[in-house]
Amino acid sequence: MGKPSRRRDGAGSSDADASASGSSGPGSLYSAFKAGVGNLDDNQIWFIKLSAACLVLYLVAFHTPAWVLRLVWGLIILAYFIPHLYASFGSTQNLATRYASTGPAVDKKWAFVSGASSGIGLAIAKSLANDGINVVIAAIPDQLLDDAVDHLTAEYGPKGVHVRKCPVNLGKGDGSYMDEIEKCTSDIDVQLVYNNAGFIVTGFFHKTPLEKWMANLECNATAQVRITHHFVTKMVDKSLKGAVVFTSSAAACMPSPFASIYGSSKAFLSAFAQNIATELKPKGIDVCVIHPSPVASRFYDKADKIDLMDFFKQFSVEADELPSEFSKAVGRSVWKDVGPTAIIFRFVSKLIDLNFMGLLMGVLGKHLPDYKRYA
């Protein structure tokens, strides 16, 4: 049963009686105030208490020595920058060597990369193969996948690197793609998992067929959970060290109107990675999530025009630049922002509460060109 309300009917009645008699003056004002306080529930009382505490802290700040305020602000900034400095200026790692203490020999390590037929995923696969790591390429079965596997095999096969093709559609809501993934990897120990697959659906949420949104959610979020659970369970059971890496987005840190599932699914990925990182680090499994700025790739080819997206695409980074950022970040940072857009978004989210930002965008939304276009 829920907790009884803290409303005080007697106090409320006194206020009503006072109002009815037409009395006025300090006494009646006090009675009205007392009645109002008596009718507050627990959540309202706590909100008032916390608001008052924040007001006191704000007033105290005016009488706080400047060096104390600078120290507090400095700690906030350092908490962001220290992990990023380590993950940005550290040496590029060969992950086969990093996790060489368990599993097969360094030159027999296997990685699984989803969405690896083009863009970021293909760049990751190339970088891994260049480090002598065998790669399972998972993507929608089409010519792009065939070409990617053929190219990687031709370039790295002579160097002893094995490339496997895993044709899957991660947007299938029944999760049947896991059967193919298990089939493709049943005889190998995958120690590096790159959850990179994802796509974007644009438009008004209520005007777009639900099945499109659900396929987007399955590919961008649910499939990542299924894949991670499968490979992590095997790694833990065999006491293998390794890494799970997620390709998230700067959109995870800001409201994403007209691409509602994309932004929210990326926010989920970032939170999910942060949570399991705590559990898996003691097992020798590093978890890292990358927030790239918009990437110059085929990712946006099928997306409808969004002015906000076009604006930030001006600050895009090249897909080939990202693998080294992934490599530097693994084991050194859980979240890693890459490019100006991602870094600016993270800083804005620290300065402006997301709740206020959502309210503000709700008020201004109807004035956006994108709103008028899709309305």
- Whether 99 is in a domain gets the answer no
Please report which helix (H) or strand (E) contains residue 114, including its range. Answer: strand 110-114
* Residue 193, helix vs strand vs coil: strand
Q: Tell me how many domains the chain contains.
A: 2
Q: Indicate whether 72 belongs to any domain.
A: no
In a domain, 82, yes or no: no
**Spatial contact of 128 and 153, defined as CB atoms under 8 Å apart:** no
Phi and psi dihedrals of 284, rounded to 5? 85, 15
Cα dist. 59→49, 70, 91, 226, 353 in Å? Answer: 15, 16, 46, 50, 20
Q: How far is CA 206 from the centre of its chain?
A: 24
- Whichever domain contains 251, its CATH number is 3.40.50.720
Across the strands, what pairs with 164?
136
Report which DSSP code applies to 208. Answer: S
Please indicate, yes or no, if residue 217 is contained in any of the structural domains: yes
The tokens describing 52, both together, are: 């008052």
pLDDT at 18: 42
Residue 290 and residue 163 share a domain:
yes
Same domain, 51 and 175: no
Closest CA to 290 of 319, 313, 261, 310: 319
Which of 123, 45, 53, 77 lies closest to 318 in space, CA to CA? 123
Residue 264 lies in a domain: yes
Q: 106-118 b/e with 16+ CB inside 10 Å = b?
A: beebbbbbbbbbb
The verdict on 53 and 162 lying in the same domain is no
Burial 361-375 (b: 16+ CB within 10 A, else e): eeeeeeebebeeebe
In a domain, 81, yes or no: no
Question: Which residue is it, tokens 């370039």?
Answer: 155
Kindly state the tokens that stand for 39: 């009718």
How many C-beta atoms surround the C-beta of residue 197 within 10 A? 25
pLDDT tens track, the chain, 375 positions:
444 444 444 444 444 444 444 445 556 766 766 676 677 777 777 777 777 887 887 777 777 788 777 787 778 778 888 888 888 888 889 999 999 999 999 989 999 999 999 999 999 999 999 999 999 999 999 999 999 999 999 999 999 999 999 999 999 999 999 999 999 999 999 999 999 999 999 888 999 999 999 999 999 999 999 999 999 999 999 999 999 999 998 888 888 888 889 999 999 999 999 999 999 999 999 999 999 877 655 554 555 656 555 655 555 567 788 888 889 999 999 999 887 888 888 888 877 888 888 888 788 777 777 777 766
Q: Which domain holds residue 282?
A: 107-374
Residues 227/90, Cβ–Cβ less than 8 Å:
no
Look-up of token digits 């840190």: 253
Answer yes or no: do 111 and 55 share one domain.
Answer: no
123 and 57 belong to one structural domain: no
For the chain, give the longest Cα–Cα distance.
97
Q: Could you give the residue ranges of the DSSP H alpha helices within the chain? A: 9-21, 26-38, 42-61, 66-89, 95-98, 119-130, 143-156, 177-185, 210-217, 223-237, 260-280, 307-313, 322-329, 340-351, 354-364, 369-374
In a shared domain, residues 49 and 160: no
Q: Which of 27, 43, 63 is the last residue of a domain?
A: 63
Instruction: Determine, yes or no, domain membership for 285.
Output: yes
Structure tokens at 299: 């990712």
Instruction: Report the pLDDT value the prediction gives residue 110, as an integer from 0 to 100.
Output: 97
H or E stretch covering 317: strand 317-318
Instruction: Answer whether residue 168 is part of any domain.
Output: yes
Nearest to 273 by CA among 289, 253, 251: 289
**pTM for the complete prediction?**
0.77
Q: Does 30 share its domain with 168?
A: no
